[in-house]
Amino acid sequence: MSDNRIIALAGNPNSGKTTIFNALTGSNQRVGNWPGVTVEKKEGVLRLEGTDYTVVDLPGTYGLSARSIDERVARDFLVRNKPFLVAVILDASNLERNMYLALQIMELGVSKVVLVFNMMDVARSRGMEIDARAMSIFLGVPIVPTIGNKKEGIEDLKRVISLYVRGLSADNKMEPGSPFKYRQDIEDAIEQVESMIPNEIAREYPARWVAIRLMEDDSEYRDIVARMSSGEEILGKVDALRQHLERILGYDVETAMAEMRYGYIKGVVREFVKRRPSIGDRLSMSDRIDAVVTNRYLGLPIFLLIMWIAFMLTFNLGGFFSDYIDAFFTFVGSITAAHIRTEWLASFICDGVIGGVGAVLVFLPNIFMLFLMLSILEESGYMARGAFVMDKLMHAMGLHGKSFIPMVLGFGCNVPAIMATRTLENRKDRIITILVNPLMSCSARLPVYVLFAGALFSAHQGTVIFSIYILGIILAVVLARIFKSMFFKGETTPLVMELPPYHIPEPKGVILSAWQRSALFVRKAGTVIFAAVILIWLMASFPLGAGYASEHTLIGRLGSVLAPVFSPAGFGYWQAAVALFFGILAKEVVVGTLGTLYHTTGSGLSAVIASHFSPLSGYAFMVMTLVYIPCIATIAVIKRETNSWAWAGFAVAYSLILGWSLAVIIFQVGSLFA
Ligand code: GDP
Ligand code: MG
């Protein structure tokens, strides 16, 4: 009944799932299309005794109640795909909270379960002694202690998996243990419901699990049962049982059941985990750092300082390497011009490929640095503190601090950032966070800023770019507030913020992750951007005889139609107009188009920009680039995640109107003072 080739890794966020996943699968992994957060399914291959197993890294969850989308994804996978083995990764230093998910997975009962007690080093440093052997016998499941980031215990884990693979229980005499039970009257009710579950359902789902879900009033499972011919009768009986129990308990059944699980776990932990009080009671390192970093007064300045440092490193260190890439393309361009005699081919290579794709690739170092900074912030655990510090501000936006992480991820790419909103439990918070996310300036827009700020604000370019990012944040705050009062008046949901312990980021992991994300950028340069640039080059070459990239070419005519729209913003040039137009395909194409049309990259392109734009019109252009219409991939993901074209259309409409208005206001008001 279960698929013998799938091993699922489940666990709370930050328990070390991905670390264990990497240790098990090495380089044999299929990274999803949009890396960044473990929202999408990540798969890898583990070879054991000559057979390949698919290892799946599930989204981090605290339970299987499917309250958030992450939980639903994880639960659906476990219930429907029935992996033959689930390794639950637990943060051993925080077993009480982490065991909840483990208990629910054991309760689900479709897969064999291994508990991986990860972060044993942290547990030990906090003075915890875990009697894993005794606990394993008590629970009736194997327990493997590990230190994921040092690869300790991974071989033990593989050994346990091999034993399971061969169909043996872990040490051949593993007893069923003492499985968790609810109090007797609830157990009786569960049993009654279980016996009523029709065969069609029991073939797909474990009957006891369905009975438990029904007793907990899970709407998804109620719907499944309601579709059966005897559905109404069963649900009627369930409701009667629930009402009866509620009268006895004095409160609702699902609360009682959750409390019993917590109580059981508390007991298990008290029994098998000993703490040496002298060390255990001392303030942990994380707590001490948090006392400063999340301090009421210091928190925000520290946050801004860290962000500012991250941005400065992105531009200054990144810019240093960009110069070499620029020199390389200039070199290739001069060789081509000297040796290729066929005029159209030389133009294609110099103007199209080097001008277009080269103009974009020059910014690879900046983008790599940006992703490196984001990875370090994420990995170290600081990002969660940022969310904590921003909680107040987010409340002012009518949102919760949890919305902050998708916002920061938007600096990398809005697509995974919008997918990361799946951690938000409230649909209204989600929609607002999605709608304003494109205002968080993604890395694809960075080349425009670096190019324009470098050409027009040489001494202050870092500050100018920082101001664009800040403007994006302010707009997001204001609009979130407005959208909230427009669409979802007066609704708030209380939530608990998790603060994972700090970690010194693993250099290899951080660099790998930044590289994977940058590789996506390079791949994009070779595909979408390349295709767009060819289109632009063709449009700039025809009709023949009009003169390459002149106003009389196809693209020139298109641009001349659009350009007047932008005259009030100070950049009514047809080249700027088509750059923005094709930028909707992917924001990198804005610079790619300019490079193709002006057939130059890097410093050459800078000089052209300086001659066409004033600092004021250049700034208006940067603001337009920041705000106007999200790229096609972002529009598509907004549609997918909100499940509505109306929200996607709204995002396009508001951003276009807002971007244009701001660009015009900046140029017009600025001109009064200039
Ligand atoms: P996930 O959210 O469950 O996928 O967690 P990750 O695998 O991303 O790990 C979160 C952080 O914990 C990373 O910085 C890891 O390097 C770190 N980490 C993983 N395992 C251990 C461990 O056993 N001990 C310590 N001290 N850190 C660990
Ligand atoms: Mg992960």
pLDDT at 663 over 90: yes
Q: Position 351: which residue type? A: D
Say if residues 154 and 23 touch (Cβ distance below 8 Å).
Answer: yes
Q: Convert the pLDDT of each residue in 332-346 to its tens digit.
A: 877 877 887 777 777
Q: Is the CB of 14 under 6 A from ligand 1?
A: yes
**CATH architecture type of domain 6-165:** 3-Layer(aba) Sandwich (3.40)
Looking at residues 33-56, what average pLDDT do you find?
Answer: 72
Shortest-distance Cα residue to atom 24 of ligand 1: 119
Token pair, residue 296, equals 């009421």
What is the CB neighbour count within 10 angstroms for residue 631?
23
pLDDT bin (cut points 50, 70, 90) of residue 498 is: low
pLDDT at 38 over 50: no
Q: Convert the pLDDT of each residue in 563-588 to its tens digit.
A: 899 999 899 888 899 899 988 888 88
Q: Convert the pLDDT of each residue in 500-523 to its tens digit.
A: 667 777 788 788 888 887 887 788
Q: Convert the pLDDT of each residue in 261-308 to its tens digit.
A: 888 888 888 888 887 754 444 456 667 777 777 777 888 888 888 877
CA distances from 256 to 185, 262, 326 (A): 12, 10, 65
Centre of ligand 2 from the C-alpha of residue 241, in Å: 40
Return the pLDDT at 496. 46
Return the pLDDT at 287. 73
Name the average pLDDT for the chain. 82
Looking at residues 53-59, what average pLDDT do you find?
Answer: 91
pLDDT bin (cut points 50, 70, 90) of residue 126 is: confident
Q: Which atom of ligand 1 is nearest to the CA of 118?
A: 23
pLDDT bin (cut points 50, 70, 90) of residue 196 is: very high
pLDDT at 73 over 70: yes
Q: What proportion of the chain, given as a percentage, has pLDDT over 70?
A: 89
Q: At what angle do helices 154-165 and 17-25 cross, to 10 degrees?
A: 70
Return the pLDDT at 46. 92
pLDDT bin (cut points 50, 70, 90) of residue 171 is: very low
pLDDT bin (cut points 50, 70, 90) of residue 148 is: very high
Return the pLDDT at 280. 44
Return the pLDDT at 459. 79
Looking at residues 173-180, what average pLDDT do you find?
Answer: 57
Return the pLDDT at 495. 44
Return the pLDDT at 36. 36
pLDDT at 221 over 50: yes
Pocket test for ligand 1, best of 12, 19, 150 (most atoms within 8 A of CB): 19
Say if residues 113 and 104 touch (Cβ distance below 8 Å).
Answer: no
pLDDT at 212 over 90: yes
Shortest-distance Cα residue to atom 25 of ligand 1: 119
Q: Is the CB of 423 under 6 A from ligand 1?
A: no
Looking at residues 651-658, what average pLDDT do you find?
Answer: 95
Ligand in nearest proximity to the CA of 378: 1
pLDDT bin (cut points 50, 70, 90) of residue 12 is: very high
User: What strand order describes the sheet that includes 29-30?
Assistant: 29-30, 42-48, 51-57, 3-11, 83-91, 112-118, 143-145
| pTM to 2 decimal places | 0.55
Looking at residues 143-153, what average pLDDT do you find?
Answer: 94
pLDDT bin (cut points 50, 70, 90) of residue 117 is: very high
Pocket test for ligand 1, best of 503, 504, 508 (most atoms within 8 A of CB): 503
pLDDT at 176 over 60: no
Tokens 């005519």, residue? 557
| Cα 79 from Cα 209, distance rounded (Å) | 10
Q: Is the CB of 506 under 6 A from ligand 1?
A: yes
Q: Convert the pLDDT of each residue in 441-457 to its tens digit.
A: 888 888 899 889 988 99
Q: Which atom of ligand 1 is nearest to the CA of 17?
A: 3
Of residues 29 and 97, more confidently modeled: 97
Centre of ligand 2 from the C-alpha of residue 626, in Å: 30
CA 113, 18, 523: angle at the middle one, nearest 5? 135
State the maximum Cα–Cα separation within the chain, in Å, rounded to a whole number: 92
pLDDT at 116 over 90: yes
CA distances from 526 to 324, 330, 360, 523 (A): 20, 19, 10, 5
The single-letter DSSP state of residue 348 is I
Ligand in nearest proximity to the CA of 145: 1
Say if residues 55 and 44 touch (Cβ distance below 8 Å).
Answer: yes
Q: Convert the pLDDT of each residue in 306-365 to its tens digit.
A: 877 877 777 677 767 777 887 787 788 778 778 877 777 777 777 777 776 777 777 788
Q: Convert the pLDDT of each residue in 609-649 to its tens digit.
A: 888 899 999 999 999 999 999 988 788 888 888 888 999 99
Q: Convert the pLDDT of each residue in 406-444 to its tens digit.
A: 887 788 778 777 877 776 767 888 898 899 999 998 888
Return the pLDDT at 279. 47
Say if residues 434 and 420 touch (Cβ distance below 8 Å).
Answer: no
Strand partners, 46: 53
Q: Which of the listed ranges 16-30, 199-213, 283-297, 305-319 does the model predict with the highest average pLDDT?
A: 199-213
Return the pLDDT at 336. 79
Return the pLDDT at 39. 56
Q: Which atom of ligand 1 is nearest to the CA of 152?
A: 23
Looking at residues 228-240, what average pLDDT do you find?
Answer: 93
